Chain A
């Protein structure tokens, strides 16, 4: 991806292949081609490229995927620290700027 990759060995993505039914939804929804497919099951091929958006977890009908998803956004994390909440980019129409 034209040289744009982020930190290595930080991503929380996990796939339990035992549960995988081979439906390929994770492959369909992933914006960074993290998943590959062999022997009728998905596998994680590019873990470090994952941005933890959580689309795969949300769309896995077997609950085989887990990832701590959230905004990869410094301003959102600062927001969270200041308010003592989860990182949030404060998008919901409160008039503040965001993502």
Chain B
């Protein structure tokens, strides 16, 4: 294995352990940008196993991570200037929190890795530091009873590791709390944009083709005129739901993401009205309110999966009402829009 972040090896009584760089290379930064845009995100992995940062010995701390490279990269960068062991679990390339939810970052895999890599012999102490969000999958008392290692839950963010160590391995309430600041929401938006994939081509193309039809038959002029407007309206709706709503999330009224998305979608429709993009016909204008509202609302609702504070029960409650309405609105809007092509 010749990965760029491995700079050498450290000899232990149980063989050699790869030593990792605690600085991001240009390639690490570039890969991070690509992954944020959903390029190769599902295959961005490091080999599970034991790694060394700095010059660790039997007294050094052990930090646990997932084998999603972005998770691993944040940990090793946070360990700059610290001598530590890194135990990477096999989470199938998924980040700590999501993998813990699935159970791959879990009690069984942690116990398994502690045994495979003979941690009992690598270190003298019996503490292992697991990122707090891993607690969703790890049962500390079970790990203790099966391996003798005491799980200490570290901070949510790897960047807090240094202060966590300085405060005597105590995560303060601030370190434990998951917020959802603008900075984090911005990082997630590119992936949201990529969700539409083929639909982003297929649906505008469909509108473009349909726009050519009228009572007079098919004309290219009509396709350009109505189709062009339709494409702009559709993309605006999409961006309202998956860019603007996440961006302004705390400041948009309503608790339900679907309503937040609807509000932004309609606001955008009003702005589009000034540019005459939803047309002049009242039926077509209403149709666009329905279509844009439905798309924006649906995309915004999907952002619940990226947010850090929505519960399963809450999202289920929200969807029970919102999803049928979104589908109905989109269908009604499409029918209305087609009707206006013929009147």
Contacts and interface: CB of A to CB of B under 8 A. Distances in A.
Given A2-B181, A31-B176, A96 B141 contact: no
Given A28-B176, A73-B304, A93 B93 contact: yes
B177 interface: yes
B309 A32 contact: yes
Nearest to B258: A74
A38 B133 CA distance: 25
Contacts of B311: 6-7, 10-11, 50-52, 72
Contacts of B281: none
A6 B176 contact: no
A46 B256 CA distance: 19
A68 B311 CA distance: 10
A63 B317 CA distance: 27
Contacts of B153: 28-29
Contact of A97 (B38, B92, B141, B156): B38
Interface in B131-159: 132-133, 135-141, 153, 156
Interface string A13-42: 000000000000100111111000000000
Given A4-B250, A72-B310, A97 B194 contact: yes
B128 to A, nearest CB: 14
B238 to A, nearest CB: 15
Contacts of A77: 312, 315-316, 319
Interface string B221-264: 00000000000000000000000000001110001110000000
Contacts of A31: 132-133, 156, 176-178, 308
A74 B298 CA distance: 9
B141 A91 contact: no
Contacts of B104: 92
B179 A1 contact: yes
Contacts of B323: 78
Contact of A28 (B171, B194, B195, B256): B171
Contacts of A71: 101, 305, 312
Interface string B297-334: 00001101111111111111111000100000000000
A89 B98 contact: yes
A10 B317 contact: yes
Contacts of A75: 195, 302, 305
Contacts of B179: 1-2, 4
What secondary structure prevails in chain B residues at the interface with A? helix
A29 B171 CA distance: 10
A55 interface: yes
A58 interface: yes
A85 interface: no
B42 interface: yes
Nearest to B256: A7
B42 A3 contact: no
B99 interface: yes
B180 interface: yes
B115 interface: no
Given A74-B318, A98-B305, 18 more contacts: A2-B179, A4-B250, A7-B314, A7-B318, A11-B311, A28-B171, A31-B177, A52-B312, A70-B312, A72-B310, A72-B312, A75-B195, A77-B315, A78-B323, A92-B102, A93-B42, A93-B94, A97-B195
Contacts of B217: none
A16 to B, nearest CB: 17
Contacts of A6: 255, 309-311, 314
B191 interface: yes
